[in-house]
A and B are shown apart, each in its own frame.
Chain A
Amino acid sequence: MPAAIRTAGLCKRFGSLTALDHLELTVPEGTVHGLLGPNGAGKTTTVRILATLITPDEGTAEVFGVDVRDDPRRVRSVIGLTGQYAAVDELLTGRENLHMIGRLFRLSKSDCRARASELLERFGLGDAADRQPKTYSGGMRRRLDVAASLMARPRLIFLDEPTTGLDPRSRMEVWRLLRELVADGTTVLLTTQYLEEADQLADSLSVIDQGRVIVSGTPDELKAQVGQDRVGITLLDPGVMERTVRILRERLGTDPVADPDKMQVHAPLPDGGTLPDLLHLLRESGIAVGDVALRRPTLDDVFLSVTGRSADHGTDRRTSGKETERP
């Protein structure tokens, strides 16, 4: 069984700009793969090549074993694309949109009707089905957009920043739909700038930067690579800070850091060290604890450690980054 997606040595240049620089990516069928990176990293270019919208300059890109350059039509018949910009017809109703897409995907008329109704209900658009998308909220439009991609039951769906610009509630809705999709066995390639989104949804991740994959693995693997969980303890009495540091060092065998301004002590929590034990020990030593926080390393930490900068850093260059990816 060939992988859903396999690229090897994929390169794409736009003028003097190198969008993809020997990108390697393999996504097994039935999994959700997150493509994570700042704007301009090459996420959208990768999706556009795999969706047969643009051709690579070098290297190969295969969808279920079929090269996108050799037989684009065949690739198109099994993929669904939800791009960054909602791809719905503003003047057709929600139902008409889905029906049109279904017919263009070669579904029979009765199939189209049934499938459109099913998706509209499932995506909570039943009441809005016969209105034009210009009356929809951003979240509803996005759901219609995703529904359109699912009309022909694609085996592979591309979601290019599906929640960018959505409010938190709409984002949760899209996440819920995605989880349902995956339960159906659909393979998903998800691009996102939101580390939390990738963490929540993806089975495996590739962090890309400047057109190459710099690290990949499961979210847990990547986080493990960055380091251990951290515990933060807020004290009520500044006088016990030094004693607390000493106790933590003895107990955990790691190096605690004191933050006198916030009256906090932070320390890496090695495997096997549990929070209740620690609290018990402090109470026995007569140290009053105001607050305790356990923080797992996030994908933000992963990004920072592999690229040397924060994932949010690219947000300022938003407009120019988009333009360079879509000349």
Chain B
Amino acid sequence: MTSTTLTWESGTSCTQSRNALAWWCSDVWQMTLRNVRHVLRSPELVMFSLVQPVMFILLFTYVFGGAIDVGGERYAQFLLPGILVQMALYGSAAGTTIGVAAEMHEGLMDRFRSMPMSRTAVLLGRTLSEIFRNVGVAGVTVGVGLLVGFRFRGGLLPALAGLLLLLLFGYAVSWFAAYLGLSVRNPEAAQAVGGVWIFPFTLISSAFVPTGSMPGWLQAYAAHSPMTAAVNALRALFTGGPATSYVLQTVAWSVGLIAVFAPLAVRKYGSR
């Protein structure tokens, strides 16, 4: 069988010269690049991602804000962390759940799966590119927030820490979204599912109203929602106040989501 070993080498010219880790990084980079290009080359997606936070900030600040009592605080100050977290979730829902479901039905996925590339890279590239998008969306959100009266009162470092926490949380949720996108039968179902799952998360939380006005059983749910933890952590870091417990909760939720849904999603991708 010596002839076999010899003939195997022609197809892959430089496998030997780099180690497996370097190629894994290269695969992930290629997939991230691809998804970032998708974002940049979809003007309607860019518009939608950027107009949405502006719309929500203006709507809540000027339409609902006057009627919501947030304990003497400016509503914009209260609202902005909620909008930031909500936008990160919307991005995952629309981008990842629907995008992944649609892509799995394209011939390109068969091509990837018939290639010697890493199987984790496809989904990693997808979720990592969500971070890129979230940076843009968070930038616009903060910018509009500053215009309507929001201020970083806790100082520069806590503000940066808050934004990093936001990106981590958004990243973790995109793994859940990816798993969801892989689990539904077709892109149409993903449209339906992708838009729905975020509502109980975003609305039943401390994002837009203080949870104190909700009925007791709902309060209990809202208090333990990861969304509430993330919003409260950001609020404390941006405005001042005890942040540690909320930050730890948010980190724990994020790590937990990744630990559970990343392996599930990768397995689902491999088995399709």
Contacts and interface: CB of A to CB of B under 8 A. Distances in A.
B12 A152 contact: yes
B41 to A, nearest CB: 5
6 contacts: A52-B113, A53-B114, A64-B8, A83-B107, A91-B41, A108-B14
Contacts of B68: none
A45 to B, nearest CB: 13
Contact of A76 (B1, B7, B108, B116): B116
Contacts of A145: 107
Given A52-B114, A104-B30, A108-B13, A89 B8 contact: no
Contacts of A101: 111, 115
A92 B37 contact: yes
A106 interface: yes
Contact of A96 (B1, B26, B37): B37
A1 interface: yes
B224 to A, nearest CB: 39
Interface in A75-114: 76-79, 81, 83-89, 91-92, 96, 100-101, 103-108, 111
Given A1-B3, A91-B41, A154 B11 contact: yes
Contacts, number: 100
B38 interface: yes
Contact of A106 (B1, B3, B14): B14
A77 B107 contact: no
Majority secondary structure, A binding face: loop
Given A91-B38, A106-B15, A86 B107 contact: yes
Contacts of B114: 51-53, 76, 79, 81
A107 B34 CA distance: 17
8 smallest beta-carbon distances between A and B, as pairs = A87-B107, A85-B107, A87-B111, A104-B117, A77-B116, A81-B114, A76-B116, A51-B114
A155 B33 CA distance: 29
A105 B107 contact: no
B115 A104 contact: yes
Interface of A: 1-2, 48, 51-53, 64-65, 73-74, 76-79, 81, 83-89, 91-92, 96, 100-101, 103-108, 111, 132, 145, 148-149, 152-155
Contacts of A81: 110-111, 114
Interface in B4-25: 4, 7-8, 10-15, 18, 23
A312 B82 CA distance: 61
Contacts of B3: 1
Contacts of B132: none
Contacts of B1: 65
A87 B13 contact: no
Interface of B: 1, 3-4, 7-8, 10-15, 18, 23, 26-27, 30, 33-34, 37-38, 41-42, 106-108, 110-117
Given A64-B4, A91-B42, 14 more contacts: A52-B114, A64-B8, A78-B11, A81-B111, A83-B110, A85-B107, A88-B108, A89-B34, A96-B37, A105-B12, A105-B117, A108-B14, A152-B12, A155-B7
B112 A106 contact: no
A76 B115 contact: yes
Nearest to B26: A103
Contacts of A86: 107
B107 A106 contact: no
Nearest to A81: B114
A132 B110 CA distance: 20
B110 A77 contact: no
Contacts of B14: 106-108, 111
Nearest to A96: B37
Contacts of B41: 91, 132
B37 A77 contact: no
Nearest to A111: B13
Contacts of B33: 100
A87 B115 contact: no
A83 B111 contact: yes
A124 to B, nearest CB: 21
A53 B110 CA distance: 7
Contact of B34 (A48, A100, A152): A100
A232 to B, nearest CB: 44
